[in-house]
Amino acid sequence: MRERTVGTTPPRVMAVAGTDSGGGAGAVADLRAFAACGVHGCLAVTAVTVQNTVAVTGVHTVPPETVAAQIEAVATDIGLDAVKTGMLATPAIIEAVAWACDRAGIGADGPTPLVVDPVAASMGGDQLLADEALDVYRTILFPRATVIMPNLDEVRLLVGIDVHDRSAQYDAAKMLHGFGARYVVVKGGHLVEDTDVCVDLLYDGTTFTELPGPRFETGNTHGSGDNMAAATASALARGMSVPDAVAFGKRFIVNAVRASYSLGSGHGPVSPLWATPQWW
């Protein structure tokens, strides 16, 4: 007699993201983090990047209608419990994602939460977002977002504040919240005044919550934003509140940076594998 299968359908989460041929960031990081968080990962590819640990040497974007079609195909069959966006590359793709999300009930006003990581550049400074796309983020995608999670480089591009201390981090959170996202997380990884801690700041328009974590001595932080946002989306898909889901994302990324490893001759990746059993 054949054995019965025992799988239980896990929460379903989609990444809308670009690929990283080096396997450390973008869609690859998202899917690894989803697996480590015990959810079923789906993917709408926005761009193929040619990159290793040193540089991004090519970006080939997917037609906006194909990005939207991937979201629609999955939402109408598999169903989605949360969505996270990463590299969206162009204004037309951001708009296509916004309209596809509206049709599928994805976003702050629908049943499916939307986490927006407004990816603008790689760790090495290679541009992953067209300059004209910033305004589309601010006016079209942010108002639909359950939570946006920019790092300080992205904050500078989005609101023109160079965050050097905690008080500027608070100011930036207030300005970003003005664009309409229900929650804002201003990540503090690039805040050099914090030498031993890394404080992410959550703001809901009324209350600020500081999320402190250790700062590690490592250059291997490639993919850290992707992993944190993917873990946050996974927690939302399980039905956690936004503050609890962001705290879960923070705990996930602290452990992933602790487990980060060297790869190639550039920046190695953080490791979502810290959360997976080593059965081999």
Number of chain positions touching ligand PXL (CB under 6 A): 15
147 scored as a contact of ligand PXL (CB under 6 A): no
Task: Out of 11, 13, 14, 26, point to the residue binding ligand PXL (CB under 6 A).
Answer: 26
The residue number whose beta carbon is nearest to ligand PXL equals 26
Greatest pairwise CA separation for the chain in angstroms? 66
β-partners of residue 41 are: 13
Query: Residues 70-99 vs ligand PXL: string with x where CB under 6 A?
Result: ----------------xx------------
**Cβ within 8 Å of residue 206, ≥6 positions away:** none
Q: What Rg value do the Cα atoms of the chain yield, rounded?
A: 18
- Phi, psi angles (nearest 5°) of residue 212: -85, 150
d(CA 68, CA 103): 10
Residues 226-245 that bind ligand PXL (CB under 6 A): 226
154 scored as a contact of ligand PXL (CB under 6 A): no
Other Cβ atoms within 10 Å of 153 Cβ, number: 17
Of the pair 121, 240, the CB lying nearest ligand PXL is at: 121
β-partners of residue 82 are: 13
223 scored as a contact of ligand PXL (CB under 6 A): yes
Residues that bind ligand PXL (CB under 6 A): 17-18, 20, 25-26, 49, 51, 86-87, 119, 122, 128, 223, 225-226
